[in-house]
Amino acid sequence: MARTRENRFKKYDGGDPLAPPVDLAEALDAIGEDVMAGYSPERAMREFLRRGGRDQAGLDELARKVAERRRELLRENDLNGTLREVKELLDTAVLEERKQLARDAMMDDADRAFREMQLDNLSPSTAAAVSELKDYDWQSPEARAAYEEIKDLLGRELLDQRFKGMKDALENATDADRAAINEMLGDLNELLAKHAQGEDTPEDFAEFMDKHGDYFPENPQSIDELLDAMAQRAAAAQRMLNSMSAEQRRELMELSAQAFGSPELMDQLGQLDANLQALRPGEDWSGSEDFGQGQGQGTGVGLGDGTGVLQDLADLDALAEQLAQSYNGSRMDDVDLDKLARQLGDEAAVDAKTLQQLEKALRDSGTLKRGSDGQLKLSPKAMRQLGKALLRDVAQRMSGRQGQRDMNKAGAAGERSGGTREWQFGDTEPWDLPRTVLNGVTRQATERGGPLLAIGDVEVQETEARTQACVALLVDTSFSMAMDGRWVPMKRTALALHTLIKSRFRGDHLQLIGFGRHAEVMDIEQLTALDARWDKGTNLHHALLLANRHFRKHPNAQPVLLIVTDGEPTSHLEASGDVYFSYPPHPVTVAHAVRELDNSRRMGAQTTFFRLGEDPGLARFIEQMAQRVDGRMVSPELDDLGAAVVGSYLGSRDAGRPGGTTGGSSGLSAMRSAYGDVFGGFGGGRGYWVDE
């Protein structure tokens, strides 16, 4: 039996349906920058979501809009709208009655005088005046209609507080409509009482909704949904009362007795509020808001509309908490997109949804991983992506510098580099057949025809006649590096060099060594996540000991020693293993460092010092150290540190080749094929100078 194909659909959840998937590149760059500055990956991700991207609003911007909307609601509304409307109707009724008394020539003078006295002596309190007139025999039909409208308005407003839309639905209500309302309230209170005792059944709820469902536009599917919707609105109504002045509350309570001319209505509503508060005590029943009450600061709102404003304010408060993401276990999925769209519009909801997708992609794409300690960390995949981005930056900084001629070839014929590139006229490298055939098949599928192979399909294998290099990158991790803003550029440089060697020069051996008060070998994840250290000491001696040990492990490779520092050696390792510190530098400390540097030279290490800072004494010291071992000193700007170190590495490893130069042309061509044709060669140029 053939299986039928099943189509599944879901509600469209907003956004551009043709928009590409979220781009993680910008997020990864920002997160990596913060991680290298000392943030945890979790905090770095949170910071990016908070700030947003170049074309993407972040949580801070959405929270600002929520706060502005909240201030706007408080500024534009005050809570005496119902009282004001009642007073206007009362004034209309009294005025029309006075006109009628003046026009009615048939009325007994004593009766007219008594009625006028009643009107003249009405209480200045609107609520009291309405109560005093409840038994008044109105002579004017217009006055009687205005007074009856007061009772109708109060009833509709009180119901609108609990049941949204009642004010408009019950306009011009008949006695039958009011009787139906009373019956619904009675049935609802009976249902809630049974629910409180645990005696209700789903059938009870279904029967109630079949009979009274028109009063509930939210269309709740269970008694719990009904309770949630009603309790939220009732709590907002209570907060509205709490926000009124004592005089306003007193007047409103006195007027409520006149609603629909039915004391039973108030009894039913009081019982309903008590049931809701008992069943949903977790709602905010005691809060209040500071509106511009009765001072002309905003538009007066009625009881129902005011309750809606209080509900909006509660929604905005909930959104502010969700967008703050400050509670344990917070996730972007916590943000209520429907509520956000309702309060701020669809554009804000789309921004929040994009942030949700970004967070999910960062967690699910392998960019972040959870370590054995339960903390999020940058995954190896993320480190590679970040390293490639840093290399692209290095490429841009090195492009255009004068030095070596551009090379079309990946290198002289010899060992394969592992990369490929499009064939160009004059190339003699062997074809990469799998890539060439794949290019042809892909082109045919796209163009729907054409030759099996075209010139543009051909890719050749990159080859390189090269000598293995054994590289030691020594980076200063003393407190001055962090204090003077050199911490992140140092880490970026290490990651760029690590990425280049691991992706393009896999036969080379790189060791990263951090040296502060003492030195230690670090993997790239450890170095990039390293917090600033505030211990004093620059132990170049210990770092050189570790570098020389690394060189001895690879006797057939060309040693390359790269040292990034901003200070003279102020500590050394003694025979006992203890660290000796002295500032200014002690001659014994300097002697220990010089001795190990001489050992590096005897092993054939090509040494480059990268001096950070403008200290003339440091410059003289490092220059003397470099001259002692036939090395060189480079003084880069911080932004050019990565380009300086990578360029020096490429030049040093090419210098070890037979017939090689210090320009690094072979290595540059390999990088060009991987990171774009932006390397025009390397030499002393923009951003730093070289002292040979």
Are the beta carbons of 37 and 481 closer than 8 angstroms?
no
Q: Please, which residues have CB within 8 angstroms of residue 56's CB and are 6 or more apart in sequence?
A: 351, 354, 355, 358
Q: How far is CA 644 from CA 131, 263, 489, 608, 623, in A?
A: 89, 87, 12, 10, 17
Chosen CATH of 468-676 out of 3.40.50.410, 1.20.1560.10, 3.20.20.70, 3.30.565.10: 3.40.50.410
When pLDDT is averaged across residues 585-612 and rounded to a whole number, the result is 94
Q: How far is CA 638 from CA 484, 492, 612, 633, 678, in A?
A: 11, 10, 8, 15, 21
More confident of the two residues 99 and 1: 99
Neighbours of 267 (CB within 10 A): 13
When pLDDT is averaged across residues 252-269 and rounded to a whole number, the result is 66
When pLDDT is averaged across residues 146-153 and rounded to a whole number, the result is 77
The yes-or-no verdict on residue 619 having pLDDT over 70 is: yes
Closest by CA position to 640, among listed 267, 373, 350, 390: 390
Give the integer Cα–Cα distance in Å for 105 and 207: 59
The yes-or-no verdict on residue 17 having pLDDT over 70 is: no
pLDDT digits (tens, 9 = 90+) for 46-58: 888 888 888 888 8
Helix axis angle, 587-602 to 540-553, nearest 10°: 20
When pLDDT is averaged across residues 99-103 and rounded to a whole number, the result is 88
pLDDT at 306: 54
More confident of the two residues 74 and 62: 62
> Cα 404 from chain centroid?
45
Peptide bond into 584 cis (omega under 30): yes
Q: How far is CA 374 from CA 358, 368, 371, 531, in A?
A: 21, 12, 5, 19
The yes-or-no verdict on residue 23 having pLDDT over 60 is: yes
Per-residue three-class SS string for 629-668: CCCEEEEECHHHHHHHHHHHHHHHHHHCCCCCCCCCHHHH
| Sign for the pseudo-dihedral over CA of 81, 87, 93, 98 | negative
The mean pLDDT value of the chain amounts to 77
> Cα 477 from chain centroid?
31
Of these ranges, 301-315, 572-586, 641-655, the one predicted with the greatest mean pLDDT is: 572-586
pLDDT at 560: 94
pLDDT at 366: 66
The yes-or-no verdict on residue 668 having pLDDT over 60 is: no
Q: Kindly report the pTM of this predicted structure.
A: 0.53
Closest by CA position to 387, among listed 532, 496, 248, 291: 496
Q: Give the length of the chain.
A: 692
Dig out the tokens for 360 from the structure.
């999910």
Residue whose tokens read 């408060």: 317
How does DSSP assign 322-389, residue by residue? HHHT-STT--GGGS-HHHHHHHH-HHHHHHHHHHHHHHHHHHHSSSEEE-TTS-EEE-HHHHHHHHHH
- Residue 612 φ/ψ, nearest 5 degrees: -105, 135
When pLDDT is averaged across residues 656-684 and rounded to a whole number, the result is 42
pLDDT digits (tens, 9 = 90+) for 449-508: 677 888 888 888 876 555 689 999 999 998 888 888 888 888 888 888 988 888 888 889
Dig out the tokens for 572 from the structure.
């050394």
pLDDT at 504: 81
Indicate the pairing of strand 376-378 with strand 415-422: unpaired
Q: How far is CA 569 from CA 402, 551, 584, 585, 588, in A?
A: 34, 22, 9, 6, 10
- Residue 610 φ/ψ, nearest 5 degrees: -110, 105
pLDDT digits (tens, 9 = 90+) for 267-286: 777 788 888 888 888 887 77
Q: For the chain, what are the domain ranges?
A: 24-77+316-378, 80-290, 413-463, 468-676
**H/E run at residue 302:** none
Amino acid at position 67, single letter: A
